[in-house]
Amino acid sequence: MSTLPQKDYTSLDGADLKKMLVTALSSLELNAPIANSLNVFPVPDGDTGTNMYLTLKSAESLLAEQEYISASKLASGIAYQTLMGARGNSGVILSQFFHGLAEGLANKDLFTGKDLAIALEQASKASYTAVSNPVEGTILTVIRKSADAANALADTGETDAIKILEYSLSAANEALIETEEIHPMLKEAGVIDSGGIGIVAIIDGMVNGLQDANAQILNIDVREIKPNSRYLDETQEQAFGYCTQLLVSGNNLEIDKIKAYLSEKGSSIVVVGTDQAAKIHCHTEDPDSILNYAKTLGVVTQTKIDDMDEQHRDFLEHHRSEGTKLVPIGIVTVSTGSGINELFTELGALQIVPGGQNMNPSTKEILDALISAPASEVIFLANNSNIVPAAQQAMSLSEKPAHLLPTTSIPAGITALISFDPDADATSNLKQMQAAISGLDYAEVAIAERTTTVNGKNVQKGDSIAILNGDLVASHKSTEQAIRELFKHSNPSPGRLVTLYWGMDTKEADAKKLAENVPKWCQGVEVDLVYGGQPHYNYLVSIE
């Protein structure tokens, strides 16, 4: 009985690379919930896996091409698409990983296992350059050790790409488990690095894709942490129609009825949320009908219609050329929540980029906002540390003069915008805005999504937790007690202004009661209460 000849994995081409990356994308999608569940702070911002998945998914159109593409051309295209689609810290690092991979495969129609090992080494070096202060025990360590292993095996004379990838995968798994011991915060929380899981998923997908096998859920001990299913806010694109996404805020929203209605209007329907807010995703050939329907339910924000991005930019540029006056300098800001969006607009922001926890905008989305803003020069407020890397990429790609003020919170962005002077130049404004936020304390209050230990504090799932300037300072069954402990830590002096931004899941009566109590806890402070409407956080707090 004859047997089929075994596939030769010593010489690969663009079709092989495409199979590797297609399955890597599927592997990321399958394993995103695992990565999302491993945040050190137990707040509902599980976005690492989602950001990595969406970053690679931004190159899906290239992976779907039917025509043959050489290995070097495909790798180069993936590098560009992931750069433009990069979301958050992990997404930017991943885009640089593919940039390095493309450098290693440059000018190669065919490549060997040795070439692949060298490309992985380039990917490792490029990934480290994406971070201003590289920290070990993170995604970077997993990338580096997997690349080192690939090259160590290749140096023995091995040219079989499967064997090299499998050896690299084994090293990546070992490095992933070790991240808990290397990184102090991971060790305290009892978790492994979430970005590292994404890298293991990618290499595992490459191995399976090359062997024509399906992607699989990784066999990783994640300490019984339950995955966060909200990553489904973003679903698979299709090759026709318009991908329509929006958020509806209203009263008595019925998720099942919304799903039933949309099922008759399009495909790939995803509707998640509560009776007060629903995130909608739908593929349709008539997005206007979806928008009009949504407006009958409540206030529509965070609208995104993907296939109309270029048309929208052309429309703005056309009308600008017809006589729209450009201001010399203006502000573009990241924001989330209907109340906060309105406040930024009232304060003079020219463009708002929807984003924040669990919804980091891509490099392209930031770049589009910079270009569309009716200003000759722009200052961009990131308002979230995880958005800063993608913003830095957008600044470097913008043909319009653009400057990043790396604000790390919504309150900081608001304070900076208040101090903005439209008659001053960029240098003066950046200096003035930075000075305004230098003495600012900011805090976030949310509900813990899991039981853990952070900064020596035991946190129980369902507790109200308070994070002051990035550090967890309180965990309590009572939201009021958690906030009271927060103010004990911040200890604002008389005369300081405390602003409370209450979120979409917080009752107005509770917010008013809190605003009345703060002066009793902190003598001599002034208190301002503002409806923010932000998701995830019951309160955002600024002390200035």
Judge whether 143 and 95 are in contact, CB under 8 Å: no
- Residue 234, Cα to own-chain centre: how many angstroms? 12
Residue 188 tokens, joined: 């305290």
Q: d(Cα 185, Cα 178) in Å, to the nearest integer?
A: 13
> Which pLDDT belongs to residue 184?
85
Judge whether 290 and 262 are in contact, CB under 8 Å: yes
DSSP letters, 468-506, are ETTEEEEEESSHHHHHHHHHHHH-PPTT-EEEEEE-TTS
How is residue 159 annotated by DSSP?
A: -
Q: d(Cα 258, Cα 248) in Å, to the nearest integer?
A: 11
Q: d(Cα 113, Cα 149) in Å, to the nearest integer?
A: 13
Q: Architecture of domain 324-438 in CATH?
A: 3-Layer(aba) Sandwich (3.40)
Judge whether 390 and 88 are in contact, CB under 8 Å: yes
SS3 459: strand
Q: What pLDDT tens digit does each residue of the chain (544 aa) get? A: 334 345 777 889 999 999 999 999 989 988 887 888 776 555 544 478 888 998 899 898 888 887 888 999 999 999 988 887 877 678 878 988 999 999 999 999 999 999 999 999 999 998 887 776 788 999 999 999 999 999 999 999 999 999 999 999 999 999 999 998 998 888 877 788 989 999 999 999 999 999 988 888 787 654 433 333 332 333 233 333 566 767 788 888 887 788 788 878 876 555 555 677 666 767 677 888 888 899 999 988 757 665 534 433 443 443 344 444 688 999 999 998 888 988 898 888 998 888 876 678 899 999 988 988 889 999 999 999 889 999 999 999 999 999 999 999 999 999 999 889 999 999 999 999 999 999 899 999 999 888 888 878 888 999 999 999 989 999 999 999 999 999 999 998 998 999 999 988 889 999 999 999 999 999 898 989 998 988 889 999 999 8
Fold topology of 242-308? Alpha-Beta Plaits (3.30.70)
Partnered with residue 497 across adjacent β-strands are: 526
Pick the CATH number of 14-235 from 3.30.2290.10, 3.40.50.720, 1.25.40.340, 3.30.70.3270: 1.25.40.340
The CATH code belonging to domain 441-543 is 3.30.1180
SS3 348: coil
Partnered with residue 395 across adjacent β-strands are: none
Partnered with residue 449 across adjacent β-strands are: none
Judge whether 24 and 426 are in contact, CB under 8 Å: no
Question: pTM score, two decimals?
Answer: 0.64
Judge whether 13 and 70 are in contact, CB under 8 Å: yes
Beta pairing class for 497-502 and 537-543? antiparallel
Give helix 194-210 / helix 48-57 axis angle, nearest 10°. Answer: 40
**Which residue, 420, 419, 416, 350, is CA-closest to 383?**
416
The answer to whether 14-235 and 441-543 have equal CATH topology is: no
Judge whether 443 and 472 are in contact, CB under 8 Å: no
Q: d(Cα 474, Cα 458) in Å, to the nearest integer?
A: 9
Residue extents of the structural domains in the chain: 14-235, 242-308, 324-438, 441-543
> Which pLDDT belongs to residue 408?
92
User: How would you class 6 by CB atoms within 10 Å of its CB: exposed for 0-12, middle for 13-18, buried for 19 or more?
Assistant: exposed
> Which pLDDT belongs to residue 267?
67
